[in-house]
A = this chain, B = another copy of it.
């Protein structure tokens, strides 16, 4: 079992899928077990409790998000291009993985989140921080707290991905570029 025992992974993936559709409630362990093709007891071989399962799933999924962020980044690009590349790759990740987006949204606003399982060294947060800090230092961005810029930019990505998922509004390349540009023009030194 090098990366992640097959069963354990199946349990995590099944939970992710079921939570998207039914929420935390509405997703009994028995359902997770059936979907993952294991016995209920097996889940408890890998996770102490439902809460731990949810929290581990959070870490698991967050790492995938970090991977998507890094994969879309290229430090050699001009700063503005990097901004748009990162914006688009995170957006693409979320619309390709709607269950991740939905899970995050539910997790963040749930009691499970009180456990500071993840406050340790939040890599995602750090990456964004460093990126925006550098933009300010190099004179591309306005001198606003980089944390705020990071949260704002990420917020716009999430919001846009949710709008896309709702399906009521046309969201083609044109619209995406418009949105990312609004952010860029607002944050950059003109």
Contacts and interface: CB of A to CB of B under 8 A. Distances in A.
A24 interface: yes
| Residue of A109, A142, A160, A163 contacting most chain B CB atoms (<10 Å) | A109
A78 to B, nearest CB: 20
Contacts of A39: none
A152 B163 CA distance: 10
Interface stretch (A1-9, A84-92, A182-190): A182-190
B111 A109 contact: no
A26 interface: yes
A21 B147 CA distance: 26
Interface residues of A, number: 39
A115 interface: no
17 contacts: A23-B109, A23-B110, A26-B111, A102-B109, A105-B108, A106-B109, A106-B110, A142-B182, A145-B170, A148-B179, A152-B156, A152-B179, A159-B159, A182-B186, A183-B186, A185-B185, A185-B186
| 9 nearest A-B residue pairs (beta carbon) | A186-B186, A155-B159, A182-B186, A105-B109, A25-B25, A185-B186, A23-B111, A106-B109, A144-B178
